Amino acid sequence: MKKIAIFDIDYTITKRETLMEFFKYSIKKDFKNIKFLPRALYCGIMYGIKRYDEKKVKEKFLKFIDGTEEKELGYIVENFYKESLSNILYKDALKMIKKLKNEGFDIYLISASPEFYINKFYDIKEVDKVIGTKFSFEDGKFIRKMDGENCKGEEKVRRLKEFLEKENIDVDFKESYMFSDSLSDKPLLDLVGKPYLINYKKNHEIEILKWK
């Protein structure tokens, strides 16, 4: 049976929230995208007052890349990873990934962030699988339509088990790890025998690791 080490992404292996970093990067590269800032703020407010769920927030927020050709989006993502995303990784997270890979664990990154850019984390040679929120493309262009559900909470467990079943992978969950900054990942934290909270600010029965 395989042993796996699962890592959330935002605020777990990265110091900042990656979707907002992607938006900031888009403004840096084309200042005209600043016009989408009021939309971003509005989405945040609507989510805060529970008028929008996370699925609707993401679909509306991603207006700034709506209609982008898939090839062009791939080019943008490539440079986003090189110039921004790779620079906000916790060194301690990378050390843990390398340590556990050397100990024979498969490394899985599972996040609610969009797959179209977190797939760049395959550039970390130790990473075996990336699972994130899927978005649709039509006629070779990005559209702001989520393909399936937002990959959060129980959906992360469902997506993981779906992948394992499809690939006929048997996992020893009691000997497996899960790292997350948030209790929104409790379904995954409860799934494994070795759960850890990262930089969690309150006391908790789950062991807390401080990463820099």
Q: Rounded to two decimals, what is the model's pTM?
A: 0.94
Q: CA angle 152-156-159, nearest 5°?
A: 135
* CA 32 – CA 159 distance, rounded (Å): 36
Instruction: Tell me yes or no: is domain 4-209 CATH 3.40.50.1000.
Output: yes
The residue among 71 and 47 whose pLDDT is bigger is 71
Q: Domain ranges in the chain?
A: 4-209
CA neighbor of 95 nearest in space, from 128, 132, 124:
124
Confidence of residue 132 (pLDDT cuts 50, 70, 90): very high
pLDDT at residue 181 in the model: 97
The per-residue pLDDT for 50 is 82
Average pLDDT over residues 58-82: 95
The share of the chain scoring above pLDDT 70, in percent, equals 100
Q: What is the mean pLDDT of residues 54-70?
A: 93
pLDDT at 51 over 90: no
Strand, coil or helix: 144: strand
Query: If pLDDT is split at 50, 70 and 90, which confidence band does 44 have?
Result: confident
| Tokens coding 71 | 């090839």
In the chain, the amino acid numbered 50 is: K
Angstrom distance (rounded) from CA 120 to CA 35: 27
| pLDDT classification of 100: cutoffs 50, 70, 90 | very high
Note the pLDDT of residue 39: 86
Distance CA(87)–CA(8), nearest Å, equals: 17
Q: 18-29 vs 70-83: helix axis angle to the nearest 10?
A: 100
d(CA 6, CA 95): 14
For the chain, the maximum distance between any two Cα atoms, rounded to a whole number of angstroms, is: 52
Quote the DSSP letter at residue 153. T
Burial class (CB in 10 A: 0-12, 13-18, 19+), 132: buried
pLDDT at 84: 96
